[in-house]
């Protein structure tokens, strides 16, 4: 470990900066470590061209971002750390920029419930190649081995699917082994800021909150083709995806079933302060008992609100529509919210009879930077609520999930959740406190009663038509709090030391009680979110 750290620190001094270039096809990382800087910049310096609710951010949309607006050290908006430019010319044509990031996450901790030491190790590399500002290739490959805290292992031991990474092998006694890769090829024709085309395997996130009820980065990565369009105050994203249902696969890849998704997201900056986003999605299976179904060509239609197109092919598939809104105040505060509609029958909603197909999700939240005039002090509060059976479908393969994980909220459906965050960053230091309290209505333990929490159960197995309410079933209360101290050794590389404590508490109506404390110390250079509160 000492040799690896010494090597990375030695490499770090080779830092070339090429501010004269204006890359337009590069994606920013989806990570809370980098998102904090984007929040500070966007809230304190709002503009009409940046759209904060769609991630990953494309570099052409944040070309106005200035590191000086952020009161702490961070991974730069225009980061050329550990990079080398070849074939430079005065006219800036036919030049090549290569950037390399070593990835090493090494963590050791103590599980107070299992009373044992646990370890987590992830290693790999990220390579980025930029050509003439308008072309970017990026690829990340990682592998590792993890021993999980007890509360996480109880959720993952059956399917052996690691959040973020996908399929895992082994067990928690010796450690789960895994390997994953992401990457994309991105092209902005003629070096413009209007159109961008991408082909790759990665994740997307819609929203301004910690959670998303429309599309999150909770599930593993998936192949995609995406078109990003920026005109005037509008940003429009269309992407086509290839996903997998692994419900009955037992970890055997040849048993995976294909499923496909088409996503549309239109974001409109009405003013510098007010943004509205409209979301639409169709999920459809690729195989059934009679045939292998290829990608539905009718869904290649790039125009938003193609629900009429779905009806034209017999409406066999799963549709989800949504709304995202954010409003910035006083250059310090952002209010945000989401509404997701899986089914919408106004007559039944007005009747208030608890019809099973009243499947909605909604979110309210706020972000407050420089609290009390203290630079670097941030507060975030968030509330999420999802009705039973939301994101599920009569055909399991067509639910709103991928690789055994929900595509939206990690708790699935049938819950209410409160989140609170308080963080302070100054120079290279960060202290972060987080708490989550959720009430979840779980299905019966024997699997015979589907009350709407598990999106991997068909809604055709519901026990009754009316009288459904949020958190019905086995009411389970989850309280998780954590505190983390981080020191960024090299902010431009996201290299950091972390010391943290997590306290997980659960209890339900059947008398089950869990108290799981967890301490950890880690050295990390990763650029993705690794959720531990699901």
For the chain, the structural domain boundaries read: 2-524
For residue range 390-437, list pLDDT tens digits in order: 999 999 999 999 999 999 999 999 999 999 999 999 999 999 999 999
Query: What string of DSSP letters covers 71-124?
Result: SB--S-TT--TTEEEES--TT--S-EEEEEEEEEEEEEEEETTTTEEEEEEEEE
**Torsion sign (Cα): 127, 130, 131, 134:** positive
Describe the chain by its helix, strand, coil percentages, rounded to 5. 15, 45, 40
Residue 381 has pLDDT above 80, yes or no: yes
Distance CA 356, CA 141 (A): 43
What pLDDT is attached to residue 255?
Answer: 83
What pLDDT is attached to residue 288?
Answer: 54
Q: What are the structure tokens assigned to 227, written together?
A: 């078109």
pLDDT grade, residue 444 (50/70/90)? confident
pLDDT grade, residue 315 (50/70/90)? low
What pLDDT is attached to residue 302?
Answer: 82
**For residue 187, what is the enclosing H or E element?**
strand 175-187
Specify whether the CB–CB gap between 233 and 372 falls below 8 A.
Answer: no
What pLDDT is attached to residue 91?
Answer: 59
Residue 42 has pLDDT above 70, yes or no: yes
Residue 6 has pLDDT above 60, yes or no: no
- Taking the CA atoms of residue 344, residue 213, residue 183 and residue 234 in that order, the dihedral angle to the nearest 10 degrees is 70
Distance CA 115, CA 105 (A): 23
How crowded is residue 222: how many other Cβ atoms within 10 Å of its Cβ?
23
Among the listed residues 104, 116, 106, 105, the one whose alpha carbon sits nearest the alpha carbon of residue 149? 116
What pLDDT is attached to residue 44?
Answer: 96
Average pLDDT, integer, range 255-266:
92
What pLDDT is attached to residue 12?
Answer: 39
DSSP 23: -
Mean pLDDT check: name the lowest of 19-23, 138-142, 334-338: 19-23
Q: What are the structure tokens assigned to 441, written together?
A: 């209505």
How much is the mean pLDDT over the chain? 89
DSSP H helices, 269-345, are 307-312
Question: pTM of the predicted model, to two decimals?
Answer: 0.93
Which of the given ranges, 16-20, 61-65, 158-162, 189-193, has the highest pLDDT on average?
61-65
Mean pLDDT check: name the lowest of 165-169, 265-269, 276-280, 518-522: 165-169
Distance CA 87, CA 94 (A): 7
What pLDDT is attached to residue 267?
Answer: 98
What pLDDT is attached to residue 74?
Answer: 93
pLDDT grade, residue 386 (50/70/90)? very high
Mean pLDDT check: name the lowest of 85-89, 293-297, 526-530: 293-297
Average pLDDT, integer, range 284-313:
68
CA distance to 6, 127, 207, 329, 338, per residue, from 214 (Å): 42, 30, 8, 24, 8
State phi, psi for 397 to the nearest 5 degrees: -60, -15
Average pLDDT, integer, range 248-254:
77
Specify whether the CB–CB gap between 387 and 425 falls below 8 A.
Answer: no
Per residue, the 3-state secondary structure of 425-486, as one string, reads EEECEEEEEEEEEEEEEECCCCCCCCCCCCCCCCHHHCCCCCCCCCCCCEEEEEEEEEEEEE
Residue 11 has pLDDT above 60, yes or no: no
**Which distant-in-sequence residues (6+ apart) come within 8 Å of 190 by Cβ?**
134
Give 2-524's CATH code, choosing from 3.40.50.2300, 3.40.50.300, 2.40.160.130, 3.40.50.1820: 2.40.160.130
Distance CA 383, CA 470 (A): 14
Residue 311 has pLDDT above 70, yes or no: no
pLDDT grade, residue 158 (50/70/90)? confident
Average pLDDT, integer, range 206-219:
97
What pLDDT is attached to residue 292?
Answer: 62
pLDDT grade, residue 89 (50/70/90)? low
Average pLDDT, integer, range 488-496:
95
Residue 13 has pLDDT above 80, yes or no: no
pLDDT grade, residue 227 (50/70/90)? very high
Average pLDDT, integer, range 91-118:
90
pLDDT grade, residue 285 (50/70/90)? confident
Distance CA 91, CA 378 (A): 43
* 415-426 vs 377-386, strand pairing mode: antiparallel
What pLDDT is attached to residue 90?
Answer: 57
What pLDDT is attached to residue 5?
Answer: 43
Which segments of 188-233 are extended strands (E)? 195-202, 205-206, 222-231
3-state DSSP assignment of residue 319: strand
Distance CA 414, CA 406 (A): 13
Q: What are the structure tokens assigned to 264, written together?
A: 């549309």
Residue 327 has pLDDT above 50, yes or no: yes
Looking at the DSSP assignment, which residues form a beta bridge with residue 18? none
**Torsion sign (Cα): 524, 154, 140, 198:** negative
**For residue 424, what is the enclosing H or E element?**
strand 415-426
What pLDDT is attached to residue 154?
Answer: 79
What percentage of the chain has pLDDT greater than the value 90?
71
DSSP 26: P
């Amino acid at each position: 470990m000492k040799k690896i750290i010494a090597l990375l620190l030695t490499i770090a001094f080779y830092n070339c900066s090429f501010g004269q270039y204006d890359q337009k096809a590069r994606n920013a990382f989806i990570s809370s470590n980098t998102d904090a800087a984007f929040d500070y910049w966007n809230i304190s310096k709002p503009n009409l061209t940046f759209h904060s609710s769609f991630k990953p951010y494309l570099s052409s949309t944040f070309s106005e971002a200035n590191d000086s607006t952020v009161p702490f050290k961070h991974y730069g908006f225009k980061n050329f750390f550990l990079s080398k430019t070849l074939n430079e010319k005065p006219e800036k044509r036919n030049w090549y920029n290569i950037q390399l990031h070593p990835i090493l996450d090494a963590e050791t901790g103590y599980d107070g419930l299992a009373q044992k030491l646990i370890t987590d190790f992830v290693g790999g590399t990220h390579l980025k190649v930029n050509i003439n500002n308008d072309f970017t290739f990026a690829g990340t490959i990682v592998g590792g081995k993890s021993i999980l805290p007890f509360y996480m292992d109880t959720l993952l031991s059956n399917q052996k699917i690691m959040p973020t990474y996908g399929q895992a092998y082994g067990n928690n006694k010796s450690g789960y082994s895994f390997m994953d890769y992401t990457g994309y090829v991105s092209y902005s024709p003629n070096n413009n800021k209007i159109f961008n085309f991408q082909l790759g395997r990665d994740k997307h996130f819609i929203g301004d909150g910690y959670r998303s009820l429309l599309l999150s980065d909770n599930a593993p990565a998936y192949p995609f083709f995406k078109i990003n369009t920026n005109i005037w105050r509008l940003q429009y994203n269309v992407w086509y995806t290839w996903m997998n249902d692994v419900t009955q696969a037992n970890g055997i890849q040849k048993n995976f079933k294909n499923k496909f998704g088409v996503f549309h997201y239109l974001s409109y900056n009405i003013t510098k302060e007010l943004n509205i986003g409209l979301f639409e999605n169709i999920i459809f299976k690729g195989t059934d008992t009679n045939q292998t179904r290829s990608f539905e060509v009718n869904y290649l239609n790039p125009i938003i609100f193609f629900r009429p197109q779905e009806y034209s092919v017999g409406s066999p598939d799963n549709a989800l529509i949504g709304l995202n809104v954010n409003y910035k105040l006083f250059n310090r505060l952002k209010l945000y919210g989401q509404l997701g509609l899986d089914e919408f029958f106004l007559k039944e909603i007005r009747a208030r009879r608890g019809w099973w197909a009243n499947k909605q999700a909604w979110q309210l939240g706020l972000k407050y930077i420089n609290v009390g005039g203290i630079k670097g002090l941030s507060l975030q509060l968030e509330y999420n609520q999802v009705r039973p059976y939301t994101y599920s479908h009569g055909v399991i393969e067509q639910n709103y999930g991928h690789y055994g994980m929900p595509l939206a909220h990690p708790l699935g459906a049938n819950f209410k959740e409160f989140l609170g965050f308080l963080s302070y960053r100054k120079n290279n230091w960060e202290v972060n406190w987080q708490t989550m309290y959720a009430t979840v209505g779980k299905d019966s333990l024997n699997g015979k009663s589907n009350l709407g929490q598990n999106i991997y159960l068909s809604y055709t197995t519901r026990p009754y038509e009316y009288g459904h309410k949020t958190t019905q079933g086995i009411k389970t209360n989850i309280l998780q709090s954590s505190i983390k101290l981080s020191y960024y050794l090299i902010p431009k590389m996201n290299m950091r030391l972390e010391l943290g404590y997590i306290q997980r508490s659960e209890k339900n109506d059947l008398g089950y009680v869990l108290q799981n404390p967890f301490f950890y110390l880690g050295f990390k250079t990763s650029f993705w979110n690794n959720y531990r509160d699901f």
